[in-house]
Structure 1
Amino acid sequence: MKIKEIQFKETASQRIYRSYMKRIEKTLSSLSKSDQQDVLLEFNSHIYEGLARKTNKRETDHLLDLLEKLGDPEKVLKPLIADKKLEQATRTFNPIHLFKAIALNIGNGISYVVFGVLYICLFGFIILIYFKLKNPDQVGLYFKDDSFMLLGKLNSDYIKNPSVTEILGNWFIPTLVAITLIAYLILTLLLKFKRSINKH
């Protein structure tokens, strides 16, 4: 649904209004079209209702006062965008949306920092899979004398050491893919659960 533009008597008022609405649009650009329309409609109706209240001020002054009360879109909309992005991310499970949502929410508590670190760790697993494909003999899950030594790329000095063994062999990539997918799903569901708790 197209937002109906408010018409003003003064040219300056029209320009100020359009400029403010454009700032809102630009700020909302990372959200879905329907979310953008909802927010634009809400702001537009606030401005319209505010202008309907009669005052002795000139139209431009009245509009400027209203917009000042509504606040700078870039600041006012930040929490809303962060929440909408989080909703979109946990609904779609899209990694790009998830990283954007975490980045936007990083200032909203330590739990988002923890989620961010955990998602980065999962990204590390993907990098390990890539290196395993490039250097199959140097990357794996290594044990030395029956105790864990390393998950990653082994230094060439240890490769021929008989006490160092790679445990997973050909199962390294399937195991890491499975762990990454399962952990990603669990983390995203926990993030969704956290969001639902914050809503109540």
Structure 2
Amino acid sequence: MIPTFTDPAANRLWKDYFARVNRLLTHSGADRKELLTDLEAHVADSLIANAQGTEMERLQSALARLGQPEEYLRPLLADDLIDRGTRTYAPLTIIHGLFHAVLAGSRRATIACGFSLGYLCLAIFVAIAVLKPVWRDHVGVFQGENGTIRAGIFSLSGSDHDMLGWWTTPIALLLAALVYVGLTKSLRALRHQP
């Protein structure tokens, strides 16, 4: 229920505020329209309840009590996206949820940063697997002449020895799959804790 405003500035403020809400809810689940309608109804009810002041003052007061959409919607979005992503194993949905969790702040940000680092490791394993056939002399697990072992993508000296050879690709893909499933199951388990 969108109220009819006589003040064009109040109408513009309403549209701008709910455009921000709608933009944040773009990637949320099926209840997006329901949540948007509930928020609009809440603000409209607040306008009706407060009969003192101009339309603009009443609308500003109602929106101030509700708060900035980013502050109260990001935690909801993070929860929804991470929950959907862990059920479907959809990496982009999980990444988007972690992004909102980081922006939501505090404990969520710490947990999201930890899982983001885990998913970054996963991306590195995939990069190693993909790049090994293309750049085989610089990708893999290498042992230097002083005995140090390095894994990844390197500019090598002539004395470095590739320890795994072509086994680097299947091992990196296996590690990527294990890390992905482990992280996603951990994230799902963490989401269902009280």
Q: TM-score, normalised by structure 2?
A: 0.80
Map 1:84-163 onto structure 2 (within 5 A): 84-106=80-102, 107-109=105-107, 110-143=110-143, 149-153=149-153, 155-159=156-160
| Bigger Cα Rg | 1
Shift of 1:69: 0.7
- Structure-2 separation of matches of 1:41 and 1:87: 23
Equivalent residues in 2 for 1:4-15 (5 A)?
A: 5-12=1-8, 13-15=10-12
Aligned match of 1:30: 27
Provide, for residues 24-70 of structure 1, a one-character-per-residue CA deviation record: whole Å limited to 9, x for no partner. Answer: 112323334x2421320220121232234253434433222111111
CA contact (8 A) 2:129 2:169 kept: yes
1:42 and 2:38 are equivalent in the alignment: yes
Change (3 A) 1:9 1:150: closer
Equivalent of 2:75 in 79, 85, 88: 79
Q: In structure 2, do the counterparts of structure 1 residues 127 and 70 end up closer, same or farther at CA, with 3 Å as the change threshold?
A: same
Displacement of 1:188 in angstroms is 0.8
Matched with 1:195 is 191
- Shifted more, 123-132 versus 7-16: the winner is 7-16
Correspondence for 1:183: 179
Residues of 2 paired with 1:176 and 1:134: CA distance?
A: 15
TM-score, normalisation: structure 1: 0.78
1:126-179 Cα shifts (integer Å, max 9, x gaps)? 12112211133443234579x7712234613224xxxx452x333321221111
Aligned counterparts of 1:48 and 1:64: Cα–Cα separation in 2: 12
1:112–1:124 Cα change, 3 Å: same
RMSD over equivalenced CA pairs, Å:
2.6
SS for the counterpart of 1:156 is coil
Tell me how far apart the structure 2 counterparts of residues 115 and 9 of structure 1 sit (CA, whole Å).
46
Q: Work out whether residues 140 and 172 of structure 1, in 8 Å CA contact, stay in contact via their aligned partners in 2.
A: yes
Number of residue pairs aligned between Structure 1 and Structure 2: 187
> Are 2:7 and 2:56, in contact at CA under 8 Å, matched by a contact in 1?
no
How many percent of aligned residue pairs carry the same amino acid?
25
